[in-house]
A and B are shown apart, each in its own frame.
Chain A
Amino acid sequence: MWERVYHILLKEFLQVLRDPRMKAVIFVTPIIQLLVFGYAVTTDVKNIATAVYDLDRTPQSRELLSRFFASGYFRPQEYVSQVTRILELMDKSTVSAAIQVNKGFAAKLAAHEKAAIQMIVDGTDSNTATVVMSYAAKIIKHYNEDLIAEAIGLPQGVLPGKGIDLKSRAWFNINLESRMFYVPGVVALIGMLITLMLTSMAVVREREIGTLEQLMVTPMRPVELILGKTLPFALIGFFDVALITAVAVLWFKVPIEGSLLLLFFATGLFLMSTLGTGLFISTISSTQQQAMMSTFFFYFPAVLLSGFMFPIANMPVVVQWITYLNPLRYFLVIIRGLFLKGVGAEILWPQMIALGVLGSFVLTLSSIRFSKRLE
């Protein structure tokens, strides 16, 4: 049996790696994807292009504005002299925020009156807008505290007894960099796509070209064919995961706090379900186009419902139930736990069991279907 498996494995490797362009797709594109992902996917809001409309033009107004720009969150894009210009800049998306200081700002402060300043935020991207507004509120709060301190006659920054002194600490990702959160997830995403696509199309290609019939007249048994058709892609999947993990650790300096051995064990469990799904898709498709569309139809929602970008806790309850069937959901918890939190099997065992159960179920089901279709 193993000799026949070995031969089909060899044939599969030859076929995939014969084409140098396919080699590039398997070994180079994951790295490129990770690099692009790692740099592009950031939800950290910094250097917000801001239009400034200062009607007061006093040292006080300039001091207030300089606080905005010294914070690192805002960047002056243009000093405008007309309100209409703000509208124009916003329409073109040249700026996403605008600060307007009205005439008489300094005078009002001197007269101990409330002095208003206006902030306009482009709400197109609601998430960024929320963050921008909280930055602005924080800057103004500090400014006010300093004003109060000055009025009472205390040095700046030592206003006593706000009542509560909030000491916040972020664990696992001290600087709150979004890259640390996304990069481990990308490792899972890429491993999934490669194995899913290769497995689902490998069988269908034989069927479409007509070589499957030749395989069927050989003494090969279905089990051997399944092993021969999944093992090479499992190996490629493992290799890709190792490759991108290396890039994540060496290039992006994402810490890997947990055990590497556990990571590979969990990857094995995860690949069981992706290979099983790929095999299943191959049994329900008769052309490569169908296989590809089905793969995509499964992959895209699986990514969206995995907690990769959108927290599962925010989803409606019914949708949350559906996510329990998603292998990526469990693997993301494991891989993030291993990378960032450095936890081990004592905490991750429920996810591992879920992956194992899901994987064996899918793999068995599709193997049975696959054998039936061959007969």
Chain B
Amino acid sequence: MNLRRVKAVAKKEMIQILRDWRSLGMAIAMPLLLLILFGYALTLDVDQVATVVLDRDRTQVSADFVSRFGRSRYFNIREHVSTYEALQRMIDSGKAQMGLVIPYDFSEKINKGEEIPVQVILDGSDSNTATIILGYVEGLVQIYALDLSRTPQYRVYSHPVKRSLPLVDLQTRVWFNAELESKNYIIPGLIAVIMMVIAALLTSLTIAREWERGSMEQLISTPIKNMELIVGKLLPYFFIGLLDVSLSVAMGQFVFQVPLRGNLLLLFGSSAIFLVGALGLGFLLSVVTRSQLLASQLAMVVTFLPAFLLSGFMYSISNMPKAIQVLTYLIPARYFVTILKGIYLKGIGPKVIVAEGVFLVLFSLGVIAISNRKFKKKLV
């Protein structure tokens, strides 16, 4: 490998990048925009559930029960309706996510100490939100039942045995992310997704562009070797990628206060390895397709979606069907996401992530080797 020729290619590529300041600007602004969105705007935490109430009892007792929902920060009572149809319309149109139906004999049954059926209707379209809302409702009803059990009507609960009842007390502890904040696991994973997409999108055009514009013929007529071209072409993008990583890490640290428990050096080392693979993948697509439109479409499909969906970034892999789980082993972002989350939240050292690291190295070497073989300095 002749370093002078590598330098020449890198320099030419760098000039080309700097001339197109808009693309460069977007490559740098994109990670920042995404981090800001995920840090401030996007959350899966559910609160202020829009609730519609149909109180058929209309007594002090039922009003007290409803007001418990109103006072909780998880619910936001939007409207009291008087017919079931009105409640249905609210949920149909998406104005309410939950409907609470209190029967005619609510207070009567409470006074008699009987069991009262209360109906909760959820908009199940978003199953995740619905499950969480149901958990809130159950918790609230449990507290209400506890208060009821202190009233004379519900004597069964003040049964003499109860005072000495054996009970299991569940003590839960959360490790690694004790505050259960979604940003703490989203942001480390997001770095991997951004890297993968930006790196592959940028490089997917480099070779295809030369073919389409006809400058490839000039390149072929030079004495440059394959590896020199690959290294020279990827080098500038490698530095853009590293700049993106540094910006993301700095923002995670100073803006979002995501705890970084592990080693910074390990973080950058693994990022560099991953970056080579991602850049190589884009380069390979460019070599194989020779068309910018096709290369960018493919880059989108083979990098963005898998990195976003199959890497465990947001959707945990263990919940997926077995066949898809097997598929995720082919996604390099999966390993990098594991490494990043481990370094950030668990503070793990190099020993725990040896397997992931080895795979990333293999992947990076693999794509570069294939690119080297596939790229032919011939006009065919």
Chain A CB within 8 A of B115 CB: yes
CA distance A164 to B103 in the complex (A): 11
Which of the four size classes fits the interface of chain B? 35 or more
Q: In the bound complex, do residue B125 and residue A336 qualify as a contact, i.e. CB atoms below 8 Å apart?
A: yes
Contact of A205 among B167, B293, B310 (CB under 8 A): B293
Could you say which of A2-10, A168-176, A213-221, A261-269 contacts chain B? A168-176
B-contacting residues, A137-173, CB 8 Å:
137-138, 140-141, 143-144, 147-148, 151-152, 160-173
Knowing A36-B309, A165-B116, A293-B26, say if A170 contacts B171 (CB, 8 Å).
no
CA distance A151 to B157 in the complex (A): 12
Contacts of B168 in A (CB 8 A): 64, 109, 114-117, 140, 143-144, 147
Q: In the bound complex, do residue B42 and residue A116 qualify as a contact, i.e. CB atoms below 8 Å apart?
A: no
What is the CB-to-nearest-CB distance from B105 to chain A, in angstroms, rounded to a whole number? 13
Contact of B128 among A178, A208, A300, A304 (CB under 8 A): A178
Total interface residues in chain A, CB < 8 Å: 118
Chain A CB within 8 A of B170 CB: yes
Specify the main secondary structure of chain B where it touches its partner: helix
CA distance A113 to B166 in the complex (A): 5
Contacts of B185 in A (CB 8 A): 124-126
What is the CB-to-nearest-CB distance from B69 to chain A, in angstroms, rounded to a whole number? 12
Chain A CB within 8 A of B40 CB: yes
CA distance A316 to B43 in the complex (A): 10
Chain A CB within 8 A of B83 CB: no
Knowing A130-B180, A315-B42, say if A40 contacts B115 (CB, 8 Å).
no
B-contacting residues, A27-67, CB 8 Å:
29, 32-33, 36-37, 39-49, 64
Chain B CB within 8 A of A71 CB: no
What is the CB-to-nearest-CB distance from B266 to chain A, in angstroms, rounded to a whole number? 14
Q: In the bound complex, do residue B293 and residue A289 qualify as a contact, i.e. CB atoms below 8 Å apart?
A: no
Q: In the bound complex, do residue A128 and residue B294 qualify as a contact, i.e. CB atoms below 8 Å apart?
A: no
Chain A CB within 8 A of B118 CB: yes
What is the CB-to-nearest-CB distance from A297 to chain B, in angstroms, rounded to a whole number? 5
Contacts of B205 in A (CB 8 A): 288-289, 292
Contacts of A292 in B (CB 8 A): 201, 205, 292, 296
- Complex interface bits, A287-326 against B, C-beta within 8 A gives 1, otherwise 0: 1111011101100110011000111011110010000000
Contact of A119 among B33, B142, B173 (CB under 8 A): B173
Total A-B Cβ pairs within 8 A: 358
Contacts of B120 in A (CB 8 A): 166-169
Q: In the bound complex, do residue A110 and residue B166 qualify as a contact, i.e. CB atoms below 8 Å apart?
A: yes
Could you say which of A90-98, A240-248, A358-366 contacts chain B? A90-98
Contacts of B126 in A (CB 8 A): 178, 181, 311
Contacts of B138 in A (CB 8 A): 138, 166
Specify the main secondary structure of chain A where it touches its partner: helix
Q: In the bound complex, do residue B184 and residue A126 qualify as a contact, i.e. CB atoms below 8 Å apart?
A: yes
What is the CB-to-nearest-CB distance from B260 to chain A, in angstroms, rounded to a whole number? 14
Q: In the bound complex, do residue B20 and residue A287 qualify as a contact, i.e. CB atoms below 8 Å apart?
A: yes
CA distance A112 to B310 in the complex (A): 49
Chain A CB within 8 A of B233 CB: no
Q: In the bound complex, do residue B320 and residue A167 qualify as a contact, i.e. CB atoms below 8 Å apart?
A: no
Contacts of A82 in B (CB 8 A): none
Chain A CB within 8 A of B37 CB: yes
Nearest-neighbor residue (CB-CB) of A300 within chain B: B34
Q: In the bound complex, do residue B123 and residue A133 qualify as a contact, i.e. CB atoms below 8 Å apart?
A: no
What is the CB-to-nearest-CB distance from A308 to chain B, in angstroms, rounded to a whole number? 10
A-B contact list, 11 entries, CB within 8 Å = A36-B305, A123-B178, A151-B162, A163-B145, A171-B121, A171-B124, A181-B125, A292-B205, A301-B33, A304-B42, A311-B46
B positions within 8 Å CB-CB of A: 20, 22-23, 26-27, 29-30, 33-34, 37-38, 40-48, 50, 91-94, 110, 113-132, 134-135, 137-138, 141-142, 144-145, 148-149, 154, 156-157, 159, 161-162, 164-178, 180-182, 184-185, 197, 201, 205, 209, 212-213, 289, 291-294, 296-298, 300-301, 305-306, 309-310, 314-316, 318-321, 323-324, 327-328, 338, 341-342, 345-346, 348, 352
